Structure 1
């Protein structure tokens, strides 16, 4: 059932985000990439997503600034935060702002898939 699940991946590390997108697409997800917060927000204008995987630390506007703006556009969107530079404190702040959960880099694909299934159970079972 996950073949129609639309995921937006947001990370400024191009090689990482492209590889992650490929791995998710191999598992049947429809994946779009944004390499910064502004692009991520602009992606929501023409379409909706089922889930966002959002990096906390990016040039320009970071994940903690993008998150509440995404929630204004699509309040029920599950957002999974991740970071390679941040701390548990930033992850907890993200949860307070409405994130579903947060993960630390390096992301393990099976852990991410598990979080996606938890965040959108009706679409992934």
Structure 2
């Protein structure tokens, strides 16, 4: 299957994503922040990234920018658990912003494992099609 870099500063979320992806047969590497993620990305070849937006130090949007500058074809799924609470000062929709900046998908937390796996399959299939492969894998999800 695919080699996936999972970046999240929350150890519970990181472990959850890792287990779901490993049970689906993927090889998973984890990083706790954007700087460590970028370092690992430069040292290894990944098929896809799952990247949290809000982390200490270098946030996910900056990390995504640097990664896409190095390798614009790598699919990135952005995650965020930032709640929108009634009565609070409205914040920008960071997941939509991430999609406009190059993420292939957005995954709000909390999420269902099936949703994560569907987004990963779709991201890998779209990367495969973009690379010129004519036949998507058996786990590919069609957008038609």
**Same fold, TM exceeding 0.5?**
yes
Higher helix residue share? 1
Structure (1 or 2) with the larger CA radius of gyration:
2
Say yes or no: does 1:96 pair with 2:100. Answer: yes
Residue in 2 aligned with 1:77? 74
Residue in 1 aligned with 2:142? none
1:118 alignment partner, one of 115, 118, 122: 122
Residue in 1 aligned with 2:61? 64
Report the Cα offset of residue 19 of structure 1: 2.5
Report the Cα offset of residue 46 of structure 1: 1.5
CA-atom RMSD in angstroms: 1.6
Report the Cα offset of residue 102 of structure 1: 0.5
What runs of 5+ residues in structure 1 fail to find an aligned partner? Answer: none
Deviation string, structure 1 residues 92-115 (Cα, Å, up to 9, x no partner): 111111000111101211001111
Deviation string, structure 1 residues 21-48 (Cα, Å, up to 9, x no partner): 0221011000000000000000012211
Deviation string, structure 1 residues 53-98 (Cα, Å, up to 9, x no partner): 0001101111111111010111101000010016672111111110
Q: Which has the higher contact order (CA 8 A, sep 6+)?
A: 1
What runs of 5+ residues in structure 2 fail to find an aligned partner? Answer: 85-91, 129-135, 139-144
Aligned residue for 1:116, secondary structure, equals: helix
1:12 alignment partner, one of 2, 5, 9: 9
Name the count of aligned residue pairs. 122
2:35 alignment partner, one of 34, 38, 53: 38
What is the rounded CA distance, in whole Å, between the counterparts of 1:118 and 1:89 in structure 2? 22
Contact 1:12 / 1:35 at 8 angstroms: preserved in 2?
yes
